């Protein structure tokens, strides 16, 4: 775990140092403020260093970690785990949307750990009614809304017209990332 944290720290420092060259695939859809560029860069870092970036990696992870007590997904009851996994929408840059219904029944920390598997831990602030209990829970929620506002609550990544063009569209209990849903 310490190696993973160290690797993520090195990747983040590297990306911050060379920012614009690595941030190119994420197009800024709003202002060009320094803070917004840093948010997009942090989000890209999380997605690119995620353990699970697509459906194939998810299937391999689920098969090899099904009974592993350290698997964050095992914090969810079996039916809720299946519902959550079935709700995941991946696009070329990683996780684009997911249902937050079952996550809000977990601690903030457990939900954050699950979302970290997909590089979507920055979306924790978009989950309504999730209840912090520990100091860590409060710290996670205090940091998330200010740092990562691009997630759209009650939206799913889809192609409503069926023409292959994806965007975030209204769907209750889902969270969508407009930066990966295209």
Domain boundary assignment for the chain: 2-48, 55-176
Instruction: Give the span between the Cα atoms of 95 and 119, in whole angstroms.
Output: 8
Sheet with 167-176: list strands edge to edge: 89-91, 94-99, 167-176, 152-158
Instruction: Give the span between the Cα atoms of 109 and 4, in whole angstroms.
Output: 18
**pLDDT per residue of the chain (182 residues) written in tens, 0 to 9:** 444 433 333 343 333 333 333 333 444 445 567 777 777 787 788 888 899 999 999 999 999 998 888 999 999 999 999 999 999 999 988 999 999 999 989 999 999 999 999 999 988 888 888 889 999 999 998 887 544 456 787 888 888 777 778 888 888 888 888 888 87
């Amino acid at each position: 775990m310490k190696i993973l944290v160290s690797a993520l720290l090195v990747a983040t420092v590297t990306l911050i140092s060379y920012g614009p060259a690595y941030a190119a695939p994420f197009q800024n859809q709003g202002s060009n403020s320094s803070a917004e560029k840093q948010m997009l860069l942090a989000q890209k870092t999380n997605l690119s260093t995620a353990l699970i970036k697509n459906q194939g990696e998810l299937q391999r992870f689920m098969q090899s970690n099904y009974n592993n007590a350290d698997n964050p997904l095992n914090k969810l009851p079996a039916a809720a785990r299946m519902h959550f996994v079935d709700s995941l929408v991946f696009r070329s840059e990683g996780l684009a949307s997911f249902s937050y219904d079952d996550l809000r029944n977990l601690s903030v920390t457990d939900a954050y750990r699950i979302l970290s598997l997909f590089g979507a831990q920055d979306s924790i602030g978009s989950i309504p009614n999730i209840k912090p209990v520990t100091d860590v829970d409060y710290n996670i929620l205090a940091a998330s809304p200010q740092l990562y506002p691009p997630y759209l609550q009650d939206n799913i990544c889809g192609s409503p017209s069926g023409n292959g063009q994806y965007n975030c569209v209204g769907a209750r209990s889902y969270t969508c990332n407009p930066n990966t849903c295209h």
